[in-house]
């Protein structure tokens, strides 16, 4: 019987997870299929229980479900510390994991950008921001968080310990001391053409990473290119976090290069 996997979120139309994971299943000749379902916060608990009851193999969660899911799963220690879930496995109950931080860290390191002892500014304080903030802090970065609601940024900074939280207006004061800028918000997603930071606010030694991958070159990354800064797309974070989820679900080594190629073809790169 075919094993079903899926990603849940709202919006969900932009997700490339289905084609990425389906390419991996096909490459390994596994009788599995992966789909995308639009699910809001209020329906998440029912969706999780329904997926378990129907024998799903596992789930991914995206905006805005990652933090809400913590109330409905048995979270592993890292996910509990982060306070957000992006991967769920049903082999033994409803287990929650977070692979976002791992995906972001590997993406940055692949580009030759050092994390240790660097000043990092994370835009946003949601699930992905939490994962990246905790992971980068553990890797030795000096973490700063800026959010539309400053209190959320300050709360996250307090949980991390050696971190600082601000409102988004911190960007207006300049990024001269920042080495790595990471956007974890949905600004720039899909057909929107927004950005929280302009080229005039950047400097050429800055590394700018946008976890949004659709479109590939978000407005933020276009601004980074204009400023002469290094710009890093969200493709490999998608691939690496998905690869880690694949390992959790199946116990098999994912075909990362095939997953990457499938995503790039879908984006017509």
* Active-site entry in 66, 105, 118, 260: 66
Percentages helix, strand, coil for the chain (3-state, rounded to 5) are 40, 20, 40
What distances in angstroms separate CA 91 from CA 244, 250, 253, one per listed residue?
16, 10, 18
Phi-psi region of 6 (alpha: psi -120 to 50; beta: other; left: phi over 0): beta
Closest by CA position to 184, among listed 68, 76, 64: 64
Alpha-carbon gap, residue 36 to 18, rounded angstroms: 7
| Two structure tokens written together for 84 | 């957000």
Helix (H/G/I), strand (E/B), else coil: 232: strand
Strands (E), the chain: 3-9, 32-38, 58-61, 74-75, 87-89, 95-97, 119-123, 142-147, 163-167, 180-183, 207-210, 230-232
Closest by CA position to 259, among listed 19, 15, 7, 6: 19
Q: Is 219 a catalytic residue?
A: no
72 Cβ neighbours under 8 A, 6+ residues apart: 44, 45, 48, 94
Pairing, β 87-89 against β 142-147: unpaired
Alpha-carbon gap, residue 157 to 154, rounded angstroms: 5
**So which residues are the catalytic ones?**
66
């Amino acid at each position: 019987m075919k094993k079903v996997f899926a990603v849940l979120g709202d919006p969900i139309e932009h997700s490339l997870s289905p084609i990425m994971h389906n390419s991996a299943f096909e490459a390994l000749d596994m009788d599995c299929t992966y789909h995308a379902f639009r699910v809001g916060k209020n329906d998440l608990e029912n969706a999780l229980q329904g997926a378990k009851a129907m024998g799903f193999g596992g789930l991914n969660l995206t905006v805005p479900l990652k933090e809400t899911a913590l109330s409905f799963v048995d979270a592993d220690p890292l996910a509990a510390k982060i306070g957000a879930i992006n991967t769920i496995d049903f082999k033994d109950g409803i287990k929650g994991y977070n692979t976002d931080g791992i995906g972001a860290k590997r993406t940055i390191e692949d580009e030759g950008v050092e994390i240790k002892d660097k000043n990092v500014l994370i835009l946003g304080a949601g699930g992905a921001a939490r994962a990246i903030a905790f992971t980068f802090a553990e890797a030795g970065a000096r973490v700063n968080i800026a959010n539309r609601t400053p209190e959320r940024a300050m709360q996250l900074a307090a949980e991390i310990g050696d971190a600082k939280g601000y409102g988004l207006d911190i960007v207006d004061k300049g990024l001269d001391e920042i080495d790595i800028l990471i956007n974890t918000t949905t600004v720039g997603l899909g057909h929107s053409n927004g950005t929280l930071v302009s080229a005039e606010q950047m400097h050429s030694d800055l590394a700018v990473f946008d976890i949004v991958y659709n479109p590939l070159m978000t407005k933020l990354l276009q601004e980074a290119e204009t400023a002469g800064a290094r710009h890093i797309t969200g493709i490999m974070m998608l691939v690496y976090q998905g690869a880690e989820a694949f390992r959790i679900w199946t116990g098999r080594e994912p075909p990362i290069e095939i997953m990457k190629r499938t995503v790039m073809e879908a984006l017509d790169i």
